[in-house]
Amino acid sequence: MEKVRNAIMQGRLWELVEQRASNNPFLKDAMDVLHLLNHIQWMEQFEPVRKTRGLFYTGMNTLQQPFFHRLHHRLIHWFDHKARDMIVLLEKEKPFSKSYGTELLSIGNIFPDANIIIDTVIGPIPIELDEMYPFAQYVFPKYLDLDSDHIRQTRWDEFTTNKNLIKWDKHEYETRELSDEEKSNWLSNFDNKRVKAVSLMQFGPDIADILFRGSISMVKSKKTKKIRNISVNGKHILSMRASDGLFTLKLDGGQVIHEQSDSPRLRVIIHDDAVPFVKEGKSVFSKFVISVDEGLRPFDECIVVSKKDEFLAVGQCLLSPCEMGTFQFGQAVKIREHAH
């Protein structure tokens, strides 16, 4: 029991189950039942959108985790891959945008409208998402077992259906040295693609479209050159976390979502009794939750509203919608910023 408790606290329960199943034929049969689509879809709602540690390969069950099921679903249905051409790059040291460096400038100059995709052991990774969890935080062997490789290949085929795949070879294309202005323009365009791509994967196409209506400006770290803060029309709407490449929703961003989306989208709706406490910046407890956007997941960013849809705060979900509606104790949402 102590090992199980520690695994839950460290966010690696699935890894522990996979390791035990590989040594016990009865547990192996149980895992096979869990891999059925209806079970995976049910378990996915309880799976956090990020973890405090990287995703480790433990064997043939790893790529069948609910987390990877959700990740692939969002790549297929949420990520914008309408471009006909896909430039395929081989897996290198992470983050891939840094490993390929100047080659990306050449690709962008020759194929300005194409999607650039990394062919990895966990499946396709768009270059704009290479710093987002788990695309920069997975630890897998170079070669997979046959079952895992079959899953990886199936997901690759689904993602690249009806696409013109171009395997990049720098020796096949005539390249030229870009001017400083061209490099600056490419980098600015790539940064815009990155923040929009991450927001698509994190919030969904409808919310991403709402957040980025207007003039976008960014603040980058002077030390790492990574994106830190994003403003739209002069309002600070998002901050990008260095630890996982995902967004923290700011108060202005929450207000934009509240004003331009319909309830219950991205909302946690609370009882009137809890409203004064949330206005003071205190956490939302499960027993005060009335209803929740069913699309939210543990550690997702959310907005907190009253029964009358009064905007109160932005925060981070600590539980799934099912748990918030069932539990009578414990924190449901950790408040980040509250309206005044």
pLDDT of residue 275: 96
pLDDT of residue 127: 96
- Residue 2: pLDDT over 80: yes
Q: Please state the rounded mean pLDDT for residues 69-93.
A: 93
| Distance between CA atoms of residues 228 and 179, nearest Å | 26
CATH superfamily of 262-338: PUA domain (2.30.130.10)
Q: Please state the rounded mean pLDDT for residues 120-148.
A: 93
Phi-psi sector, 11: left (phi>0), alpha (psi -120 to 50), beta: left
pLDDT of residue 58: 85
Pick from 248, 232, 329, 319: nearest CA to 287: 329
pLDDT of residue 226: 92
* 241-300 confidence digits (pLDDT tens): 998 999 999 999 999 999 999 999 999 999 999 999 999 999 999 999 999 999 999 999
Tokens of 54: 């990287």
| Distance between CA atoms of residues 260 and 137, nearest Å | 34
Judge residue 162's burial from the number of C-beta atoms within 10 Å of its C-beta, 0-12 exposed, 13-18 middle, 19 or more buried. exposed
Q: Where are the domains of the chain?
A: 2-167, 181-252, 262-338
Q: Please state the rounded mean pLDDT for residues 25-38.
A: 86
What's the whole-number average pLDDT of the chain?
Answer: 92
| DSSP alpha helix (H) spans, the chain | 2-9, 13-21, 25-34, 37-44, 66-77, 96-100, 102-110, 146-159, 180-203, 205-211, 251-260, 275-278, 321-326
| Distance between CA atoms of residues 25 and 47, nearest Å | 26
- Residue 81: pLDDT over 80: yes
pLDDT of residue 16: 84
pLDDT of residue 29: 87
Q: Please state the rounded mean pLDDT for residues 51-74.
A: 89
Q: Is the pTM of this model over 0.95?
A: no
What radius of gyration do the chain's Cα atoms show? 21
Measure Cα distances from 26 to 22, 50, 301 in Å.
10, 30, 39
Tokens of 8: 């839950």
Instruction: Name the CATH topology of 2-167.
Output: 3.90.1020
Q: Which residue has the higher pLDDT, 281 or 183?
A: 281
Tokens of 6: 């520690």
Split at pLDDT 50, 70, 90, the class of 12 is confident
Split at pLDDT 50, 70, 90, the class of 183 is confident
Judge residue 229's burial from the number of C-beta atoms within 10 Å of its C-beta, 0-12 exposed, 13-18 middle, 19 or more buried. middle
- Residue 44: pLDDT over 90: yes
Q: Which of 9-23, 128-142, 179-193 has the lowest mean pLDDT?
A: 9-23
* 95-122 confidence digits (pLDDT tens): 999 999 888 998 988 898 999 999 999 9
- Residue 82: pLDDT over 90: no
pLDDT of residue 93: 92
Split at pLDDT 50, 70, 90, the class of 318 is very high
- Residue 174: pLDDT over 80: no
Maximum Cα–Cα distance for the chain, whole Å?
Answer: 67
pLDDT of residue 31: 83
| Distance between CA atoms of residues 264 and 285, nearest Å | 18
Q: What percent of the chain has pLDDT over 90?
A: 71
Taking each helix axis from N to C end, the angle separating 102-110 and 180-203, rounded to the nearest 10 degrees, works out to 90
Instruction: Name the CATH topology of 181-252.
Output: Nuclear Transport Factor 2; Chain: A, (3.10.450)
